[in-house]
Amino acid sequence: MGYRGKLAERAAARELRASGLTLAEIASGLGVSRSSASVWVRDVELPGPIRRRGPRRRGPNALQRRKAAEIEAGLAWGREVIGELSDRDLLIAGTALYAGEGSKADGRVRFANTDSAMVGLFMDWLRRFFNPEEARLRARVYLHQGLDLAAAHQFWSTVTGLPLGQFGKPYRAVPDPSIRISKHPFGCVYVSYSSSLAHRRITGLMEALLSSSSHRSGVAQLAEHSTVNRRAVGSSPTPGASDGLLRHGPSHS
């Protein structure tokens, strides 16, 4: 995760708190945990009493408290297991992120997301391993009408490290209440870099990752067990017997 993304989220949370939003609204809008939002804004002076929207809610029940505790424990476990990323870790993580979220069209590196942490990680990865010409990087914001475009541009400029002059014409979407009620306050950013060489190298990384020896060995092992299982049941297996491995897993003696 890039540091720029976290700094931008913190600054945005403080601005939203100063405008009178509740912790729940800030956490939901920025896609962060309520505990993180609370730490970031704890010293922000409020403009007045916070008006809670909607009916007053009761305190969390036992199930909700258990869920919250498990979420916090999971976050702590993840931080402990991942630790600090090495260059190789970042290379693999960025490749996996691009494989899932990046454009596969040849000739241009293109990544879009509403999550500032993912965008920050992508920018760190792109700069670390592909050394792009900064002046050729471009960004564009997708934002619902009625939301603050200037604030969104400033937010994504901080996250990406790109000057506002390298942002193209924004796309303003008309919100459809029948599809979505909550909206990302800063919308979605599209980052692009026109470079066939960089994109083809990324394609090579994705292919290497998805066809890695450890991945292939797992698939091969599954196929081998399945073949052995079919031979064991004979040429005329009982219906369903040949897929016993997938239903029950390999037997252990």
Paired sense of beta strands 137-144 and 188-194, if any: antiparallel
Beta bridge partners of 194: 108
Domains for the chain: give ranges and CATH numbers: 84-205 (3.30.1330)
Tokens for 132, please give them.
Answer: 């792009």
Label residue 109 left, alpha or beta by phi (over 0 means left) and psi (-120 to 50 means alpha): beta
C-alpha distances in Å from residue 229, one per residue of 127, 250, 251:
49, 9, 10
Task: Report the mean per-residue pLDDT for the chain.
Answer: 81
152: amino acid identity, one letter:
A
**Per-residue pLDDT at 230 exceeds 60:** no
Say if CB 123 and CB 94 are below 8 A apart: no
CB count within 10 Å of CB 68 equals 14
Is the pTM higher than 0.85?
no
pLDDT in tens, 154-209: 999 999 999 999 999 999 988 766 655 556 889 999 999 999 999 999 999 999 99
